[in-house]
Structure 1
């Protein structure tokens, strides 16, 4: 047998065996007149457990390629081509072979489990329902009926919304930019995808924070990029680490989240932000600044963003309404050099022919109204209340078993367990008890950490959620 298993590959061994048998049937290497190799023989030849071969034949049987006959082994199916010479596609293989990678199984599990209305959701990075500006939206619909044309809009997004965002960026963040340098996207996620797909190529090296939300996204590997990690501390990343990575790997782009970073809640000092810009200019490395949280600062003092200090056009700035208004509105934006924005707009038009006019109209009416400012003041106060409640609950229920830093904005709190347990078992036990969180390793090399989102739950639920979490933790340690 010339076939050899690739034990270093990510593809499971049983799937490699199934693929080998299927290819052999297609090429005629296996005759339909004699049985296929027995499970025991094939296991011995390939030096695997018999159960691995059984799983391979099970998969081939499920798609009609082979059939088991009691007493005579496994044979090529007599109806492999069907009555009309048709075969059933191996959809399982198609699903696995696509270049667009799926989310991590743990991420998929958390998202599935949190659909349960009884679950206290301290995992999803969004605002609670009671922080949604429902009354303001009802007022908008009542006072100004929607009369816009529902056809395709400008490739970069509705011009009135882009002008409103331009004013918004200057008012709240002192970023001076015109509407032609803005692209409306379906949230920040699409903005990141467009940048990765349009401005980078397979094999390019990029730098991301460790830990960071970017680490949990499959888009870098889907695009064939090589991500390198920048260790983050209580002051964010050390900018000089970018230089060291660039010398070794020729970094093509840096992705950072300077304000109330996800998941740590850290704010990067002004000196480090300036140093990053100096490095970007010195080496010609573009910086992608993801800024979903800076406006949530509890004291109302918004830090100077990299984009605000960017005199050379080196920074691509991403933000959205997902963390400050409503995640389901799907309004985000990219700010950057006009030729870059035009390139990204062309790609977005190929994907969805531009953003839907209705949510753009809603966003424009709300951001441009006095009610928006009232809403921001409300969520700042409410998020601070919830962060304080989470801190009290952690101290009350966990005591000296955990340590954490209290962020001054954002929606996440990063918690270190002093005596770590298996975080995946801890998640399973917590889900059984009706509370969800995100294990730290999803965001990087951060075992022994957990991320709690306080923006998604009410103060009452936060207290109950940490109570349930503590019981799950004690249960595992009791084992």
Structure 2
């Protein structure tokens, strides 16, 4: 007799629903035939009655069965008729495929933010409306520039934007390049996706920082990429660890976020930058440098990117408008050898025929306009103010219960909770009180770390938000006693 697999990741009710649907489709339960009652089937399969209730509800939603008061649950005669006809079992398709869903904590955070828009948001890694260049973007978009034909554009991206980026990268990041060596993408994540799909193969090993934003991206696992970690200290990764991983695992590529790293806020020291490039050239090992936060350095003097001192052509450089302007523009870029750009542009054209010209035109105008530099100055001042509020609040509310290094740029504060705590319970307690953040395990760390993003929340919400977090933490800790 068939029994559900209690070790399977698939819920019991779904296993039962799938099993019954198969038996119905095979004719074991003809149209209009009576199915066992919920109680009897629960006893037969050794599960709770509520599990059978869910299984039957699933089959009813597909039109496979019908339930009527007083007459029990029967196979639908209208759906199957004389010749059974099948509605696709979408659960099997959803659970199939090779592209993995987001991590459970990230799905829970997204769900909570959708359900309660009033949550104080220390989770979303983007700028708040109060520090985004909303007025500047509106001013640019109000101008009459929609005079050209809005057809498919060059797969590398809107040429005027690529020309603007040549100037921007030279002026702000000391990276000399040409428009033919730039690919426009819909943010940094698409750049990473294209790299994993086009330049790597299933089974390849790559190195990422520990902790790391990359650890939270299922695209690596979906592509069959094996991840190996490079510990991050206060000077960033140790280049000798790259050499060790290469010897042990033959890593094919290194992914780093060296300036105000997400989530730790650490900056790779100039000495280690040079050493990393030397190791890379010695091993012929490409480096992917994701650099979204450099221009947020609060003193206005950002650390030069690896790409600016890359004399070997080892670095693929990724940037974005998301952390310095507006994530909704969905404009990012990659600087790479022309052969790489052409390969990735071809792949991206197969995906979406290129990005919309409209946001690319807005981004180009913003980079070229006299509005850009004043916005950067205001942005640095405002996010530093928010950082200071967060630091002061954490010290006041939690004191020695937490420890952290104060970041000198970026949008995040990486915080260690000294008492051992159940991070699932803590997150739920925080959501219940109206505040949300990202647990440290999302980035591959132990459960005693949390990441607070201070750029999204309004200044007036930061102090009460940390008070709510402290209240939730104390509740969880006291429940253990």
Q: Provide the TM-score with structure 1 as the length reference.
A: 0.90
Alignment of 1:106-255 (within 5 A): 106-115=105-114, 116-142=116-142, 145-255=145-255
Q: 1:476 to 1:287 in 2, by over 3 A?
A: same
Match of 1:445 in 2: 445
CA distance in 2, matches of 1:246, 1:335: 25
Deviation at 1:351, TM superposition (A): 1.6
Q: Is the 8 A contact 1:292 1:323 kept in 2?
A: yes
Paired position in structure 2 for 1:368: 368
Partners of 2:205 and 2:8 lie apart in 1 by 22
The yes-or-no answer on 1:264 pairing with 2:264 is: yes
User: Cα distance 1:199–1:4, how it changes in 2: closer, same or farther (>3 A)?
Assistant: farther
CA distance in 2, matches of 1:297, 1:283: 32
SS in 2 for 1:406: coil
Superposed CA offset, 1:228-263 (max 9, x none): 222222222222222222233221222110011111
Number of the residue aligned with 1:390: 390
**Secondary structure of residue in 1 paired with 2:415:** strand
* Coordinate RMSD, CA, aligned: 2.9
Residues 139 and 6 from structure 1, CA distance in 2 versus in 1: closer, same or farther, beyond 3 angstroms?
same
What are the equivalent positions in structure 2 for 1:5-24 lying under 5 Å apart? 10-12=9-11, 14-16=13-15, 18-20=17-19, 22-23=21-22
1:93 matched to which residue of 2?
92
Deviates more, 1:187-196 or 1:38-47: 38-47
The structural deviation recorded for 1:120 is: 1.3
1:31–1:374: structure 2 CA closer, same or farther, 3 Å change rule?
Answer: closer
**Offset from partner CA, 1:276-302 (integer Å, 9 cap, x none):** 222222222221111100111111112
**Structure 1 pair 390–63 and aligned structure 2 pair: CA distance change class (3 A):** same
Question: In structure 1, how many angstroms separate the alpha carbons of the residues matched to 2:45 and 2:236?
Answer: 49
Deviation of 1:25 (Å): 5.2
Q: Is the 8 A contact 1:211 1:446 kept in 2?
A: no
| Cα gap change, 1:35 to 1:410, in 2 (>3 Å) | same
Shift of 1:161: 0.6
In structure 1, stretches of 5+ residues that fail to align are none
| Secondary structure in structure 2 of the residue aligned to 1:221 | helix
| Cα pair distance change 1:25/1:310, threshold 3 Å | farther
- How far is the alpha carbon of 1:394 from its aligned partner? 0.6
Partners of 2:329 and 2:470 lie apart in 1 by: 35
- 1:207, CA displacement in angstroms? 1.8
Give, in angstroms, the shift of residue 79 of structure 1.
5.4
The equivalent residue for 1:105 is 104
| Matched residue, 1:417 | 417
Are the aligned partners of 1:32 and 1:75 in contact in 2 as well (CA < 8 Å)? no
Distance 1:263 1:269 in 2: 17
**Counterpart contact for 2:25–2:84, Cα < 8 Å:** no
**What secondary structure sits across from 1:452 in the alignment?**
strand
Does residue 400 of structure 2 align to residue 400 of structure 1? yes
Corresponding residue SS for 1:129: coil
1:51 & 1:136 partners in 2: Cα distance?
A: 55
Aligned equivalents of 2:471, 2:189: Cα separation in 1 = 35
Task: Tell me the distance in 2 between the aligned counterparts of 1:341 and 1:469.
Answer: 45
Q: Secondary structure at the match of 1:228?
A: strand
Q: Which residue does 1:306 correspond to in 2? A: 306
Displacement after TM superposition at 1:197 (Å): 1.5
